[in-house]
A and B are shown apart, each in its own frame.
Chain A
């Protein structure tokens, strides 16, 4: 039986407060905070990108697994901010982790669900016996246009999951995927910022896909919301995951440990995987955890996981998500943020 043998996350230390962004554009900070349920978000440094975040998260996953990186037979990175247009992020990440050269590497893209997409494929390769271990990473330095609602949430971070056949930290009980052609959010080739369709991103996009996937996986697994200790839904803002969770019958207690968006922001491909890492950081053996991602365009992947005894022993080998959210931070002004996100035009 294949499952998670290691996991890890990484969140950059720079932050910007919701108020600071709202003030810049003449918006009411209190109304924005209340509307989106966002306090602050992480911001990548000038020297951080999807590759550096993936390496740090991948190292944490390998430390928790305690395996030789040479045994990793596949490495997939899901992101919509791969630093190169042509040259896979995975090549750099594999070299840095000491994985390969006998390894299958690919970069995945599916808006905010590219990370769980990588997890789905990595798990399947281990289940099939094609590879012994497979590493799946979801990471982003998310883009949001200035003075757009996305600017309050688009943040940086990611999580890595190593799948293997034995010494599991979490069993994978069930998986499910649901995809349709729904044009709610996109970025055309050569465009700098993504575009979205405002309220259309809610009902027919996020809510339809997330709730359908979550209901379907519960039915397949023969489980009810009350059977779970924790549930994690993709977090484009603070409100959506709480709304969909309540609609499905999950309580605030089940949602809060993985609800990292108020202080992290939306790390796109890293969002629900990092929420899952935060839930695994506090799960007890036997606890069931549901994760349902959402990627615009649109689709959802869902996993039902069961924590094992080994999780308790292994999780102290790497930093927890909360320790990164509540630890060392540097608060930026909007001017510093514009510089860090390279939004300022300079002479060559």
Chain B
């Protein structure tokens, strides 16, 4: 991901900033200009809780080059109490414990390095609560 795009996504990636649609109340994460549910264009800011539960998950064995050191690792769709759904990597876990319904917290982690000399990209990963 080029640096300018990463930079634009900082509010969503670092602070989990989302939006609530003024028309239908849907939670949008990341924030959009037009609500995909009702095409509304007015939104109020919402900060997502740093916790949620796993809706579905999978285990990546054949990882992209820059994630090979971490394989095998779990990816999950996590729903926060506000109703937002995030696709996140799951860290500090046994792969078998990541199943639908698993309670997780969202922790600040380094997501990737842009090669050997590029920028470091940060965001959130899920960690099962035990």
Contacts and interface: CB of A to CB of B under 8 A. Distances in A.
B10 A47 contact: no
A109 B130 CA distance: 36
Contacts of B91: 45, 47
Interface stretch (B29-37, B78-86, B108-116): B108-116
A83 interface: yes
A54 B126 CA distance: 18
A156 B66 CA distance: 23
Contacts of A339: 69
B122 A96 contact: yes
A84 B110 CA distance: 13
Interface of A: 13-14, 45-49, 51-52, 55-56, 59, 83-84, 92, 95-96, 98, 328, 330, 339, 348
A278 to B, nearest CB: 21
B122 A328 contact: no
A52 B122 contact: yes
B15 A47 contact: no
Contact of A47 (B14, B111, B116): B111
27 contacts: A45-B91, A45-B92, A46-B70, A47-B91, A48-B109, A48-B110, A51-B120, A51-B122, A52-B107, A52-B108, A52-B110, A56-B107, A56-B108, A59-B50, A83-B110, A83-B120, A92-B14, A92-B122, A95-B10, A95-B14, A95-B15, A96-B108, A98-B15, A328-B92, A328-B130, A330-B92, A348-B116
CB-CB nearest 5 A-B residue pairs:
A55-B108, A96-B14, A47-B109, A47-B110, A13-B92
Nearest to A339: B69
Contacts of A46: 69-70
A97 to B, nearest CB: 8
A13 B130 CA distance: 12
B: contact size bracket? 10 to 19
B121 to A, nearest CB: 10
A50 to B, nearest CB: 10
Contacts of A328: 92, 130
Interface string B61-84: 000000001100000000000000
B94 to A, nearest CB: 8
A131 to B, nearest CB: 22
A92 B125 CA distance: 16
A95 B125 CA distance: 17
A251 B15 CA distance: 44
Nearest to A327: B130
A47 B70 contact: yes
Contacts of B110: 47-49, 51-52, 83
A96 B15 contact: yes
A219 B38 CA distance: 70
Contacts of A48: 109-110
Given A52-B108, A95-B10, A98-B15, A47 B120 contact: no
Interface in B86-101: 89, 91-92
A225 to B, nearest CB: 39
A330 B130 CA distance: 13
Tell me which of B10, B110, B125 has the highest count of chain A C-beta atoms within 10 A of its own C-beta.
B110
A84 B109 contact: no
Contacts of B107: 52, 56
Nearest to B16: A96
- Residue among B15, B108, B120, B122 with most chain A CB within 10 A: B108
Contacts of A92: 14, 122
A348 B109 CA distance: 23
Given A47-B111, A48-B110, A52-B110, 13 more contacts: A45-B91, A45-B92, A45-B109, A48-B109, A52-B107, A52-B122, A59-B50, A59-B108, A84-B120, A92-B122, A95-B14, A96-B122, A330-B92
A281 B103 CA distance: 26
Contacts of A13: 92
A84 B119 CA distance: 9
